[in-house]
Structures are given as structure tokens and as C-alpha cells.
Amino acid sequence: AQSVTQPDIHITVSEGASLELRCNYSYGATPYLFWYVQSPGQGLQLLLKYFSGDTLVQGIKGFEAEFKRSQSSFNLRKPSVHWSDAAEYFCAVGAPYNTDKLIFGTGTRLQVFP
Amino acid sequence: DAGITQSPRHKVTETGTPVTLRCHQTENHRYMYWYRQDPGHGLRLIHYSYGVKDTDKGEVSDGYSVSRSKTEDFLLTLESATSSQTSVYFCAIRTERGEAFFGQGTRLTVV
């Protein structure tokens, strides 16, 4: 069965520091992978996605993620965090060519200190 | 935002009453989803639809029903609301490429 694990519930970084949010998935083949961001009281916004091809994908707001098949991971990174990046981040996995389900991790809350 | 509108945005209801949440989309997407979001659980799939009158259960479907009589509308009904259904409910659509886009959510409180 598909599953997504985000091992870090809460992360705190200083503004300007680098960031890496971890995501591990369980799936029998190469899935579709997504990162979403949610600001308080808002819906989820798609940051980036991986379908196939280049394993390093670029997203909006300066974020990138790297798909590592051998580690079943899809970690989100940003070289320099801004205070406005404080939010909750969700990793999600879906089956290729099958849009019936998208499974989410439990989220990582990012706090940014000035 | 893929033209997704959820209504109402906030609702307080009493235990045992029926509640219907509406999701409306303007871009004719085939796939629509209802999730609930609770602290520590992330988003959990309640029901989804892959076309008019075609729906299926997600992982937390007990106590919920859905209907989709038109492509643009996907309704979620709590037949008899319970306090455990207090949550934030999100509607989503998925494109044919597999990307999901979400509405702004409905905060439901059952007292």
C-alpha cells in the first residue's frame, strides 16, 4: 500500500539558513511525488512535482526537491529561508497514470526565526 | 487556483444534524476529492469521484456520503454529525496529469 512518512513534525530555522524537509514514501514502483505548502487558514498550494526524468525538480518560491529511488525519498530543500516560508509542508504520493488517490504525509511545520 | 470554491467556509452545527458541504469547480475536471485535515493526521481521503455519478470511498469514509450529479459539483454529506467530525474539510481536483489543486477549505464545528 502507498504511504508517506514525514519524520519531522516541527522544524525551526533561522532566516537565511538552509532548509531540508524529509519525505519517505512506500510504493511498488516509481510514483508521482508532490510537495505542498499550507499557510495558516489557507488551502494547500502546489510547490513542485516529480513525474519522471530529471530527479532534481525545481518549484516555486525557490524550492527544489530531489527524488532518490534507492532511498525512497523526495526531500524538499531551499538554500536560504525567508520569514515568509513559515508554514506547514506536506509531501504526497500518487500512482502514475492513475488519478484516483493522492496520499499525504502528516506534515512538517516550519518555524522561521529572524 | 483551478477555479475551486467551497461553501460554506465556516459552519457550526449540532450533534445529530445533517450537514452538506459543497465543492464547485469551473474547469470541468473529471476527478474530485474530499479530504479532512486534523492535527497530527495530515490530510485523509474521505471520498472521491472520477465522473458524474461515479464515486468511491477513501480511508475515512464512515459517516460520510457524497454525490456528484454534475461535473462541476461534488457534495459531501454528514448524515448525522458527530463531534469527531469537527475538522477542516478540503475539496480538491486532479488534472489528467496528476496534479491536485485544493479549495480554501471549510471549517466545520460540531457541538
Q: What is the pLDDT of residues B51-89, one digit of tens each?
A: 999 999 998 999 999 999 999 999 999 999 999 999 999
Q: What is the mean pLDDT of residues A82-89?
A: 96
Q: Cis peptide leading into A96, omega within 30 of 0?
A: no
Q: Which three cell numbers stand for residue B31?
A: 476527478
The predicted structure's pLDDT at residue A97: 61
> In the beta sheet, which residues pair with residue B94?
B31, B100
Residue B85 · residue B37 · CB < 8 Å = no
Question: Shortest Cα distance from A10 to chain B (angstroms)?
Answer: 11
What CA–CA distance (Å, rounded) separates A46 from B86? 25
Q: What is the mean pLDDT of residues B92-105?
A: 88
* B42 interface with A at CB cutoff 8 Å: yes
Look at B98 and A49 and tell me if their CB atoms are within 8 Å: yes
